[in-house]
Amino acid sequence: MPQSPTIFSGSKVHQNNVVNTAQKTTITLTNVQEFKQKALRWSSQFNHVILFDSNHYSLDRYSKIEWTLAVDAMDFVQPTSNYFSALEEFQQQHTNEFICGFWRYDVMDAAIQREVEAIDGLGFPALFYFRPRYIFELKGDTLTVNRNYPETFEIIERIQAVEIESEAEKSEIIFTERTSKYDYIQQVNQIKLLIEEGDFYELNYCTEVVAEQSTISPIAVFEQLNVNAEAPFSCFVKFNNSYLLCASPERFLCKRGNKIVSQPIKGTIRRGRNVAEDANLKSELLHSEKERAENVMIVDLVRNDLTLYAETGSICVDELFGVYTFKTVHQMISTISASLSHDTDIVKAIQNAFPMGSMTGAPKLEVRKYIAHNECFNRGLFSGTIGYFDADGDFDSNVVIRSVLYDSAKQKIVVRTGGAITYDSAPEQEYDEIILKRAALLHSLNGKVLH
């Protein structure tokens, strides 16, 4: 074998550091963090990129990905109608391959008429899945690339040549609040009134802040956000000039063998300033009647969503009111699982469960209508999902929350945040929760909201 190129930190990849298998090469890296930074910057020359990063979150029993970078679309599906039928066909064409992509919150909203059309304007299509040309998978210091020697090392040499720009001082980015605090509180009170009247039980109401004529380095912002949040479902998405920088803590749906799992989040509280305060806040979240009521309603909704394509009697609530700690917040998460019916394609089960109950409410159709008529923006990719199918036929996907949306051509930055409203909701506290969820995002952007 010819001499391998220098990879990182002046070390060489020798023959005993390299394993070639069919269509793959495995390499032991000496500087993992440097590789991550350079590989993501190298990928920016392509129109289609998705990075999945679990941030080593040890409490996730179902994660299969540690860090995977998918680059350049060799084949893709981008339908303009019959979205899930098109996705099902595409997935069946690539059953033994890794494919990944996204779909927006409003992918199923054709039947919901808006009184005033709200425009997302951020360039993401309703659904897009692709078969990547390059796949870089990291587990510890072991890198697997879907290319054989010597092509792998030609790619690595190009990645190695990438320069990591020095961190320039960020100028402050000014955001405009699309829904004022006054209007938000009025909306919460209206939602509570409709709940009292029996229109629905719970509704996830969202707001957005927007910065126009603003430019950012999407990769640098994502890396800062990832450091700030260390979320288990973080992802970086590039679709032409549109970017999603996501630090989501929430799984939408996954498939492992014949088992499907959903893990909705309902219940949020800040981290404490010391160990004692942190423990007290976790206990407060766990015993909050309001948060438990929110959570159990969504659990019931998810159970109903899974029923159509689950084996009879297989739906199980594996964990109710689990309190999980993340870098910036504690969250209440429940886990619902089921066995997928043997005659059911996973895409049909996904379609039946989407949009996820944690970002809509109950009953789902009624709250979706209210959301469409009363939020002053189209959610677009926010409240949608980023996901993948792997060669084993397994599937995983997140809930697109805690995210920055950016259109580099329009120089537009958007941050959207939401929370569940129930009969017991206190409007001021709900507004404070919105601010808490938004904080890590604005910090990563050096952003400030004009109220």
pLDDT, tens digit (0-9, with 9 covering 90-100), for 248-304: 999 999 999 999 999 999 999 999 999 999 999 999 999 999 899 999 999 999 999
Query: Which residues, 6 or more positions from 316, have their beta carbon under 8 angstroms from its beta carbon?
Result: 336, 337, 338
pLDDT tens by residue, 210-257: 999 999 999 999 999 999 999 999 999 999 999 999 999 999 999 999
pLDDT score of 4: 43
In our burial notation (b when 16+ CB lie closer than 10 A, e otherwise), range 106-121 reads: bbbbeeeeeeeebebe
Tell me the pLDDT band of 64, cut-offs 50, 70 and 90: very high
Torsion-angle region of 242 (φ positive above 0: left; ψ -120 to 50: alpha; else: beta): beta
Q: How far is CA 160 from CA 9, 153, 414, in A?
A: 10, 10, 33
Q: Evaluate the CA torsion angle 15, 21, 24, 27 in order and state its sign.
A: negative
Which of 38, 238, 266, 412 does the annotation list as catalytic?
266
pLDDT score of 119: 60
pLDDT score of 148: 87
Work out the burial of residue 174: count CB atoms within 10 Å of its CB; fewer than 13 is exposed, 13-18 middle, 19 or more buried: middle
For residues 49-62, average pLDDT: 96
pLDDT score of 217: 95
Q: Check pLDDT > 80 for residue 6.
A: no
Tell me the pLDDT band of 451, cut-offs 50, 70 and 90: confident
pLDDT score of 343: 76
User: Cβ distance 204 to 421 under 8 Å?
Assistant: yes
379 against 113, higher pLDDT: 379
Q: Check pLDDT > 80 for residue 3.
A: no
pLDDT score of 167: 72
pLDDT score of 1: 37
pLDDT score of 114: 53
- DSSP β-bridge partners for residue 247: 234
Q: Check pLDDT > 80 for residue 5.
A: no
Tell me the pLDDT band of 190, cut-offs 50, 70 and 90: very high
Active site residue 266: yes
Tell me the pLDDT band of 352, cut-offs 50, 70 and 90: very high
pLDDT tens by residue, 118-149: 567 789 999 999 999 999 999 999 999 999 87
pLDDT score of 218: 96
* Residue 432, both tokens: 């404070």
CA triplet 26, 33, 138: central angle to 5 degrees?
A: 30
pLDDT tens by residue, 400-415: 999 999 999 999 999 9
Which of 137, 208, 230, 250 does the annotation list as catalytic?
250
User: Cβ distance 211 to 95 under 8 Å?
Assistant: no
Active site residue 172: no
